[in-house]
Structure 1
Amino acid sequence: MSDVRHVLVLPDRDAAQEAAEALRERFGTEEEPRLVRDALAGEDDAEDAQWLLVLEDADGRLDAAALDAFAGEWDGWREEP
């Protein structure tokens, strides 16, 4: 089975940090997700950035729809690969 990576896009750092903490409780993930700042194209203001939570899912056990709904709780979404 190939490695699966899920990317959750969140509106700000606080939301990303809260979601990262909640992921472990909700989905039982063992690996800590990576937080990545994603500056919006053409934006110079540091406030205009999205934050990405990158989850490795080598076993393919995380449900894409459930992750999308989870990200929606923080006004975010799951990127399609």
Structure 2
Amino acid sequence: MNDLRHLLVLPDRDSAEEAATEAATRFALPHHPRLLRDALAGEDDADDAQWLVIIEDEADELDPAALAALAEEYDGWREAE
């Protein structure tokens, strides 16, 4: 069993919160995804921050393509490993 994490990168907090809630519902996640603000390197302006949705996938059961499609629905992407 792998301890996997999937990262969805979203443009703002609202999108990240909505994507996290949708992921929890759509994929019947046992835990709600965590949100993390990720400031772009060298940027101090809050407008230059991205938001990460961190989805734990300990059983390695989630489809990366389905997660990428979800992120795209919210103008984001799934960070490739």
TM-score w.r.t. the length of structure 1 is: 0.94
In structure 2, the residue matched to 1:59 is 59
CA positional deviation for 1:16: 0.3
In structure 2, the residue matched to 1:32 is 32
CA positional deviation for 1:38: 0.3
Q: Secondary structure at the match of 2:47?
A: coil
Greater than 2 Å deviation, 4+ residue runs: none
Write the letter of the residue equivalent to 2:52: L
Write the letter of the residue equivalent to 2:53: L
CA positional deviation for 1:4: 1.0
RMSD in angstroms over aligned alpha carbons? Answer: 0.8
TM-score w.r.t. the length of structure 2 is: 0.94
In structure 1, the residue matched to 2:68 is 68
Segments of structure 2 that go 5 or more residues without pairing to the other structure are none
Q: Aligned equivalents of 2:41 and 2:5: distance in 1?
A: 23
Deviations 1:42-70 (A, max 9, x none): 21111210000111101111100000010
Percent of counterpart pairs with the same letter? 62
Q: Aligned equivalents of 1:35 and 1:2: distance in 2?
A: 22
CA positional deviation for 1:30: 1.4
How many positions carry a matched residue from both structures?
A: 81
